[in-house]
Structure 1
Amino acid sequence: MAIGISANRLELLQIADAVAREKSIEKEVVIEAIEDALQKAARARYGAEHDIRVKIDPRTGEMTQKRVIEVVPDDAELEGEIGKMQLSIAKRAWRDAEVGKIYEEVLPPFEIGRVQTQMARQVVMHKVREAERERQYDEYKDRVGEIVNGSVKRVEYGNVIVDLGRGEGIMRRDQSIPRENFNVGDRIRAYIYDVRRETKGPQIMLSRAHGGFMAKLFAQEVPEVYDGVIEIRAVARDPGSRAKMAVISNDSSIDPVGACVGMRGSRVQAVVAELQG
């Protein structure tokens, strides 16, 4: 991604559009990230003690840069402070200067060097990554208990990393069915049993050994379970070997076991095939 303060107005909006589409996040978030990056680049150029604010119009791409100055008493300690100016110095620039008053100076457009451009790019990518993680967490946090489809992205020490399209899930070795091996590119169905917020981003925890996976498979195969006519009360599994399930019917005319087994075992066989027998 090329970010430069010399980029014309349309270029900035095109960059924001492209990144927003690619990462499935709001365009406004990308524009804010670019503003933040350019502010840091401007402070690197003018000096870290300056409070420089950059605004990009999301409709036109017009960019304005301002230096914001707050007037403080002469005895105020300015070390480490940003955008402050002592009263006696401020009076040289503005006759009406008084403590607490805030002035804004419009800065002319300027070129930034290679180092500042690199720094700006890092700031934008960091902000975009954060927004992407937040979007992914919000999208999956309410999907615990669902079955999702994905493809195997990579296998690390027995843990399977799954590409879910708009996110990435992990199925740990102890959550997979024994003797079941996956290769990169394989299609996979798994159960979301937890979504955690971690420093490296949201962790979407997947399982094929969880009891809930079998219950959800039955809900997909047996319309009566999906509709709530038949209730699954309990599930016990020894993954890859055997499983038991307790079912009850809320309608006396429907046999819960027969409905789950299906004609000649058709419904149960579909689940058995998915659970590797």
Structure 2
Amino acid sequence: MSQEILSVLEFMEKEKGIPREDMISAISNAIRSAATKGVNAGQELRIEINPKSGALKAWSILEVVDSVGDPRTQIHIEKARQLNPEAEVGLFIEKEVDPERLGRIAAQTARQTIMQRLRQFEKERIYDDYKDNVGDIVTGIVRRRERGDLIVDLGKAEAMLPPRERVPGEDYSPGERMRCLLLAIEPTNRGPELILSRAAVRFVRRLFELEVAEIQDGTVIIEAIAREPGYRTKIAVSSKDPKVDPVGACVGARGARVKSIVRELGGEKIDIVKFSSDPLELLHEAIKPAVPLNIKVDELNKRIYFEVSEDNLSIAIGRRGQNARLTSRLLGWKLDISKEEVTEVGFDERMKNAIKGWEGVQGISDELAAFLVQHGLVSPEAFEGVEAKDLVKLGFSEEDAGQVVKLVDAHRSASSSEAG
């Protein structure tokens, strides 16, 4: 058994990083506990393991008496003095026990207990190794599936990528390397469980932090992110340095930086916009290429109502409302989007509007204005280049035609002077 113990000590110390002293303590306690429940039931034992050789020694702890009632816990004074000349009644002495006498059942139980303790040590070690990495990106190799969960080998431990944290459409085969966010360490009956994620918003944030040097040094700041995993992400960025374009820094030369992240995300689209503390400015940036019109803001309920042209409606809302949802999350405001109401103006209405346009010309009556509009002279501006002879052709007398031209020219001259 000594060789087995030594092998366990060396393996756990080198491969798992568990200190030899901790292992020896666990094994000693396990053997003592198992032995006192087997053939040595009722005895109090002391177990010692040599850390270099793995050699096991055991002693039973006996009370010195002058009349033995229970030989498993007591020893007569005469026999005690053969082991220790200074033994006295009422004191306790140790008597070495052959480890083989601890019993086969005790040894089997000890092995089981040792393995349980080893697993516990390993789980505790996992927590210590990874507790400071929660929220960071880790790399592992896909090993297998268990009840729908993907088991990923991180090197020192195995982690779980549950279905809820996977990206729709992504599929991984055993042996494939993958990057994930270490989302959490969850306590379970089997010990701490490492939970991974590729669907979390934090995963995209960490990819940008790793890829964009300006984010790493704090020049560019990620102000807000909204994501629908596998489909689209919107990210708003700002810059502490006015000379640095935050959007350009994230995109990179010829789009190299953002393309790298898009590849990691399996082709997920990424919209990068310049952040503004003004929600309306940010709305204009985030909803592009659609243009919000007739905006109304409900500050109390943090709601923005706006319209877009019919051509832009599908762009603003996006597939299954995706663009509108992501923009809403990015702003932190609820959005109500509707199509711009365009009123078709009829012929009669256009005629009335044109006649009103002549009201500012002194001396031009409504009847005269209506006559001019009917013949295509819809405004004083449209009168440019018109001469008296042209009006004569329309049925004016030479005198009336000359008078109309003078009135219109006088109005145009007055308007030009005011503009100057």
CA RMSD of aligned residues (A): 2.7
Aligned residue runs from structure 1 range 10-29, under 5 A = 12-29=5-22
Per-residue Cα deviation, 1:121-158 (whole angstroms, up to 9, x for no partner): 11111111110000001111121110000011112343
- State the match for 2:89 in structure 1: 97
Structure 1 residues 11 and 187, CA, compared in 2 at 3 Å: closer, same or farther?
Answer: closer
Aligned with 1:218: secondary structure? helix
Q: 1:269 deviation in Å?
A: 0.6
Q: In the comparison of the two structures, how many residue pairs are matched?
A: 255
In 2, Cα distance between equivalents of 1:213 and 1:93 = 72
**Cα 1:206/1:110, change in 2 over 3 Å:** closer
1:99-131 Cα deviation digits (max 9, x unpaired) = xx5x13132323154433321211111111110
- Is this contact kept in 1: 2:151–2:160, CA < 8 A? yes
Instruction: Return the alpha-carbon distance in structure 1 between the equivalents of residues 243 and 218 of structure 2.
Output: 14
SS at match of 1:266: helix
Q: Are residues 30 and 242 of structure 1, via their aligned partners in 2, closer, same or farther at CA, if it must alter by over 3 Å?
A: same
Deviation at 1:184, TM superposition (A): 1.1
How far 1:62 sits from its partner (Å)? 5.0
Aligned to 1:154: 144
Alignment of 1:1-277 (within 5 A): 4=1, 7=2, 12-59=5-52, 61=54, 63-69=56-62, 96-98=88-90, 103-111=92-100, 112-277=102-267
> Per-residue deviation at 1:22?
3.3
Shift of the 200–28 alpha-carbon distance from structure 1 to 2, 3 Å rule, reads: same
Q: Larger RCO: Structure 1 or Structure 2 (Cα < 8 Å, ≥ 6 residues apart)? A: 1
Q: 1:127, 1:248 → 2: CA distance?
A: 51
CA drift of 1:25 comes to 1.6
Partner secondary structure for residue 224 of structure 2: strand
How far apart are 1:64 and its partner, in Å?
A: 3.4
Compare 143-152 and 191-200 and name the one that shifted more: 191-200
Secondary structure in 2 matching 1:174: helix
> Structure 2: any 5+ residue segments left out of the alignment?
65-69, 81-86, 268-420
What is the CA deviation profile of residues 142-177 of structure 1, one whole-angstrom value per residue up to 9, with x for unaligned ones?
211100000111123432111111111111111111
**Aligned partners of 1:104 and 1:59: how far apart in 2?**
27
Question: How many angstroms apart in 2 are the aligned matches of 1:193 and 1:138?
Answer: 15
C-alpha separation in 2, matches of 1:183 and 1:11: 37
Find the aligned partners of 1:13 and 1:156 in 2 and give their Cα distance. Answer: 34
Displacement of 1:69: 4.6
In 2, Cα distance between the equivalents of 1:51 and 1:137?
Answer: 35
Q: Normalising by the residue count of structure 2, what TM-score does the alignment of the two structures yield?
A: 0.55
2:35–2:103 contact (8 Å) kept in structure 1:
no
Following the alignment from structure 2 to structure 1, what is the Cα–Cα distance between the partners of residues 93 and 13? 31
Tell me the distance in 1 between the aligned counterparts of 2:73 and 2:98.
23
Larger radius of gyration: 2
TM-score (norm 1): 0.82
Question: Alignment partner of 1:47: what SS?
Answer: coil
Q: Any unmatched runs of 5+ in structure 1? A: 72-77
Which is richer in helix?
A: 2
The 8 Å contact of residues 230 and 265 in structure 2, kept in 1 or not, is answered as yes
Q: Compute the displacement of 1:180 (Å).
A: 0.5
